[in-house]
Amino acid sequence: MDYRSLGRTGMQVSPLCLGAMMFGAWGEPDHETSIGIIHRALDAGINFIDTADVYSQGESEIIVGKALAGGRREDVILATKFHAPMDVPMGQSGGDPNRRGNSRRWIVQEVENSLRRLGTDWIDLYQVHRPEQNTDVEETLSALTDLLRQGKIRALGSSTFPAHLVVEAQWTAEKRALGRFATEQPPYSLLARGVEADLLPVAEQYGMGVLPWSPLAGGWLTGKYRKGQGAPTSQRSERVPARYDLSHPDNQRKLDAADALAVLAEETGISLVHLALAFVLQHPAVTAPIIGPRTMEHLESQLGAQDVTLSTAVLDRIDEIVPPGVTLSRVDEGYVPPALDNPFLRRRRTT
């Protein structure tokens, strides 16, 4: 497998990154089965694993740590993330407001928890899982810079940051002589192309590694979503129903596009999974899309996508089905800007 530079960190990573979100209660609850999938990925040449503290409330990190025990840790570029609440289940309200977020207080506490769960002395890439309006980015970068100097992390990155916040973080790092985000992890797929308009060019400008999440659009690009067929059910569709409810017009547009892309894949002679991954891989800004298998079959269907090259004619057909820069459903963007979430931020107050 050919390896790629992870931004300007000097680290070399495989063009596919193994995502561990589906290992644990959110996906495959059997640890030995999950470990077997991780080992198969490593044996296939993948040397890059991405997880997060919030995945199954820490269980995913524990599984990854078990898989890398016994001498495999040295061979892996290991990434994890922080931000989401860790004392209440995902999607539930309540809990301690200081056991989450991007503050120094939480970062210095949670990095120790992740290190313990992962069974390692260092994290190669420590990422802010989402922006946070009420925490100054300088506060976050300052805490992460201290962790860099202590040797607990090797590089830092962001995830699902809009382009203007990426620029702000880069500017702050330069002006305050702090560590900078070396990577960005955006949503990017054949059905969610919004980042092509500004985020990907900005990442290229700053020499950042780009690690797209959900390159298969949360399962929409596996071939299971076809017109005339019933929508499949999964734990993921139950956890985030807005992404899969076919009564919503956005998801109907996704179904139309997924069906047309499946036909194109058949005409091209490759699987839809390989078409989807190869498309993301061919963008010049992209380092490694994150694949998130739940089963060994899922993993096997995705391996080899790095060797597929799409012709100009195929890429042109894709642009006809989903135009460049278009995301068919806002839910797939993974982040709601505060000005859209809070109406008082976009309405002038009147007496």
Residues 6+ apart with CB under 8 A from 151: 122
Q: How far apart are CA 59 and CA 118, in angstroms?
A: 10
What residues are annotated to the active site? 55
Most distant CA atoms of the chain, gap in Å: 67
- Who contacts 220 (Cβ-Cβ below 8 Å, separation ≥6)? 189, 191, 254, 258
What gap in Å lies between CA 117 and CA 82, rounded to an integer?
13
User: End-to-end CA distance of the chain, in Å?
Assistant: 64
Q: How far apart are CA 7 and CA 80, in angstroms?
A: 17
Structure tokens belonging to residue 346: 């976009």
Phi, psi of 28, rounded to the nearest 5 degrees: -95, 110
Instruction: Name the β-bridge partners of 203.
Output: none
Residue in the structure block whose two tokens are 């680290």? 11
Cα-Cα-Cα-Cα torsion 234, 325, 255, 215, nearest 10 degrees, comes to: -30
Residue 218 per-residue DSSP state: G
Cβ burial of 320 (10 Å; 0-12, 13-18, 19+) is exposed
**Cα 88–91–95 angle (5° rounding)?**
30
